[in-house]
Chains A and B, each alone.
Chain A
Amino acid sequence: MKNPLTLPGLGILKGMAVTARNLVGSYYGTKRLHTISYPEERLALPENSRNFPFLVYDGEDADGGLRCTACRICEKECPPQVITIVPERDENGKLTKHPTVFDIDLNACMSCQICVEVCPFESIKMDSAFEYSSFEHVESLVLHKSDLAKPNSYYHDIKPTEATAVDANLEAERQRKAEAAAKKEAALQAKKAAAAAKSAAADAEKTPPTPDTDASD
């Protein structure tokens, strides 16, 4: 290729103009100096940001209000298998819909969010807190049920859009269930009433009419 007559060194001078522009521009505005002096300043994380899971509870009771029913789907689907669940059994050995042990090992959790996706009860959600550093990794980085349980208000704080949608879903679910239960109840009542009417009619048919003896005197 023919080499056109250029000034050697001109490319470097143009490059130096770019760096000079960046040097001067770093004093004006944040486009060319966007360092955030952590920990004095902190960036607001976007709403969807995910880090480690947490359990949602409704109301005031951090244990009884947990939405989790210990169905263990998240334990099964978790790719690095960091969730450990032991469901609670009552005196007869029957499964109550409540976990006694719910551990997540943060050392291996990869924040993939699959546990959130597969949970049918909207009980486990992703938190965006990330300041978990500690000096050892068993006591502080394996989170137990009490560490994981956070109220629904906290969920609304960190993810308002999602939390509102989840609440609407749960409400719609409750309505649906209530309607279904009411319908079932009504059907049951109707069946009972029909059965009662039928049995009354059957009773009426079964007993013969009483003879009219008082009329001959």
Chain B
Amino acid sequence: MNPPVSDWPTRSADLSDDGILEISMGPQHPSTHGVFRMNVKLDGETVVWLKPVFGYLHRNHEKLAEKMSYLGSMPYTDRLDYFSSLSNNWAYALSVEKLTGIEVPERAEYLRVLLAELTRLQNHSAFLGFLLGDMGAWGSALMYAFRERDLILDLFESLTGSRMMCNYMRFGGCRCDLPEGWLGQARKVVDGFPAFLDEMEQLLVGNEILVARTQGVGVLAGADAINAGLTGPMLRASGVDYDIRKVDHYGIYDRFDFRVPLGEHGDTYDRFMIRLLEMRESLKILDAVLRDLPEGPILDPKSKSRGLRPPVGEAYTRVEAPKGELGFYLISDKSPEPYRYRVRPPSLINLTLLEDMCLGSKIADVMVILGSIDIVLGEVDR
């Protein structure tokens, strides 16, 4: 049984009761990216203590997977980080492929990279919009970002059947091949994206109010980030050069020429700019993929969807999801259901340093810092 909130160990031992205001932000709050609550103690306007409370969206994903076949868990992985369902699918498929040893054909690998980078583009666009919405920009940047994101979601719908819950990767490749005209449409979207990025940069990057609200706010040192296990754009914004696409060389990423942007100060402005720069690098990868996509089968002929019984063993694979390192750990005991199924959620682990980043800053900054971590509650709570 968890101890009540007031008994949790506090950071500073001499918090007197007069002058300290304790408030609970959430779970119903316009800017907390889902049902998420923060208990905050304020001294005037400065935060002196912060404890996140989550679990409002817990849906027993890991336990459910122990009762369902491997194929049956695939649609549930869509709903983890519901913004980037294709990355979740890929991570899970990689894990099962490692367990069973199924090979993936060339065309399927290219398709996987294509869809993963499109997912990264639309996730970071949504992030830009939400961050500006948190700051009170009345939704202009949000609408522009969603306008472009919708073009990508239309692509997903015409390929996989659903805009967000794609359920597309299978163990050994992809579920279905590209329909006619899809490549042309994808090419149009990718070609039109730099103009959108330029427009967002003009709107946002030099904006004095944005700069004043994000530079120097929520500073995170690289060493702290590494110690807490942070990954993804948060880690790179603090200056640590760690991108799983470059480290693990999963998929066929080593065939593409893209750079990894790194920040210096580790504040909110850096996290915001890193994601903008990452979008530009993703566009390079997409150009190359659309140019080089080979013909061929998209599913390994030896793969089974029904009745898959992987040999006894365990596997942990990870991908560079838009939010960070998304890992799947599977233990198989040769039955149709996995013995243990564990998701390493990047949003949850990135959240562990929320209090450290927010201590000493103003209450208005807490929302901006939370927005810059880019959490999705589906992932945090599973």
**Are A and B bound to each other?**
yes
Pairwise interchain contact B206-A11, C-beta atoms closer than 8 A: yes
Pairwise interchain contact A50-B199, C-beta atoms closer than 8 A: no
Give 1 or 0 for each of B194-214: 1 = CB within 8 Å of chain A CB: 000001001111111101000
A48-B160 CB under 8 A given contacts A114-B75, A118-B305: yes
A77-B72 CB under 8 A given contacts A46-B154, A46-B158, A113-B167: yes
Count CB-based A-B contacts (< 8 Å).
85
A15-23, A95-103, A149-157, A201-209: which lies at the B interface?
Answer: A15-23
Pairwise interchain contact A49-B157, C-beta atoms closer than 8 A: yes
Shortest distance between the CB of B4 and any CB in chain A (Å): 35
| Cα(A49)–Cα(B166), bound, Å | 11
Shortest distance between the CB of A49 and any CB in chain B (Å): 6
Pairwise interchain contact A48-B165, C-beta atoms closer than 8 A: no
A50-B144 CB under 8 A given contacts A14-B202, A15-B203: no
Shortest distance between the CB of B90 and any CB in chain A (Å): 17
Shortest distance between the CB of B227 and any CB in chain A (Å): 27
Pairwise interchain contact A118-B161, C-beta atoms closer than 8 A: no
Q: Within A133-187, which residues are at the interface with B (CB < 8 Å)?
A: 161
A8-B208 CB under 8 A given contacts A77-B69, A110-B165, A114-B72: yes
Point out the residue from B69, B73, B162, B209 that lies within 8 Å of A12, measured CB to CB.
B209
Collect the chain A residues with CB atoms within 8 Å of residue B160's CB: 48
Q: Within A1-58, which residues are at the interface with B (CB < 8 Å)?
A: 8-12, 14-15, 17-19, 21-22, 32, 34, 45-50
Shortest distance between the CB of A170 and any CB in chain B (Å): 18
Any A CB within 8 A of the CB of B179: yes
Which residue on B lies nearest to A16, using beta carbons?
B203
Pairwise interchain contact B68-A79, C-beta atoms closer than 8 A: yes
Shortest distance between the CB of A114 and any CB in chain B (Å): 6
Point out the residue from A12, A14, A50 that lies within 8 Å of B161, measured CB to CB.
A50
Collect the chain A residues with CB atoms within 8 Å of residue B75's CB: 79, 110, 112, 114
Which residue on B lies nearest to A111, using beta carbons?
B162
Point out the residue from B72, B76, B154, B161 that lies within 8 Å of A126, measured CB to CB.
B161
Any A CB within 8 A of the CB of B255: no
Any B CB within 8 A of the CB of A196: no
| Cα(A110)–Cα(B68), bound, Å | 15
| Cα(A138)–Cα(B160), bound, Å | 30
Which residue on A lies nearest to B306, using beta carbons?
A118
Point out the residue from B76, B147, B179, B203 that lies within 8 Å of A18, measured CB to CB.
B203
A14-B165 CB under 8 A given contacts A19-B140, A118-B305: no
Collect the chain B residues with CB atoms within 8 Å of residue A200's CB: none
| Cα(A10)–Cα(B209), bound, Å | 11
Any A CB within 8 A of the CB of B175: yes
Collect the chain B residues with CB atoms within 8 Å of residue A126's CB: 161
Any A CB within 8 A of the CB of B363: no
| Cα(A112)–Cα(B74), bound, Å | 9
Collect the chain B residues with CB atoms within 8 Å of residue A161's CB: 179-180
Q: Is the interface of B mostly helix, strand, loop or mixed?
A: helix
Pairwise interchain contact B73-A11, C-beta atoms closer than 8 A: no
| Cα(A21)–Cα(B161), bound, Å | 34
| Cα(A18)–Cα(B204), bound, Å | 10
How many chain B residues touch the partner (CB < 8 A)?
A: 37
Any B CB within 8 A of the CB of A73: yes
Q: Within B240-285, which residues are at the interface with A (CB < 8 Å)?
A: none
Pairwise interchain contact B208-A9, C-beta atoms closer than 8 A: yes
Any A CB within 8 A of the CB of B159: yes
Any A CB within 8 A of the CB of B369: no
Pairwise interchain contact B207-A79, C-beta atoms closer than 8 A: no
Collect the chain B residues with CB atoms within 8 Å of residue A15's CB: 202-204, 206-207
| Cα(A50)–Cα(B140), bound, Å | 31
Which residue on B lies nearest to A116, using beta carbons?
B161
| Cα(A11)–Cα(B214), bound, Å | 15
Give 1 or 0 for each of A79-113: 1 = CB within 8 Å of chain B CB: 10000000000000000000000000000001111
Pairwise interchain contact B206-A14, C-beta atoms closer than 8 A: yes
Collect the chain A residues with CB atoms within 8 Å of residue B180's CB: 161
Shortest distance between the CB of A92 and any CB in chain B (Å): 31
Any A CB within 8 A of the CB of B71: yes
Collect the chain B residues with CB atoms within 8 Å of residue A17's CB: 202
Pairwise interchain contact B73-A79, C-beta atoms closer than 8 A: yes
Shortest distance between the CB of A67 and any CB in chain B (Å): 19
A77-B71 CB under 8 A given contacts A8-B208, A46-B157: yes
Collect the chain B residues with CB atoms within 8 Å of residue A77's CB: 69, 71-72, 306
A79-B76 CB under 8 A given contacts A8-B208, A11-B211, A118-B306: yes
A-B pairs with the 10 shortest C-beta distances?
A11-B206, A112-B75, A50-B161, A46-B158, A79-B72, A18-B203, A15-B203, A11-B207, A48-B161, A11-B208
- Having A12-B207, A48-B158, A73-B306, one finds 17 other A-B pairs with CB under 8 Å, namely A9-B208, A11-B206, A12-B209, A14-B202, A15-B202, A19-B203, A22-B144, A46-B154, A46-B179, A50-B162, A77-B69, A77-B306, A79-B72, A79-B76, A111-B165, A113-B161, A114-B74
18 contacts between A and B (CB under 8 A): A18-B203, A19-B203, A22-B144, A34-B150, A45-B157, A46-B158, A48-B161, A48-B176, A48-B179, A49-B158, A49-B161, A50-B161, A50-B162, A79-B73, A114-B71, A114-B75, A126-B161, A161-B180
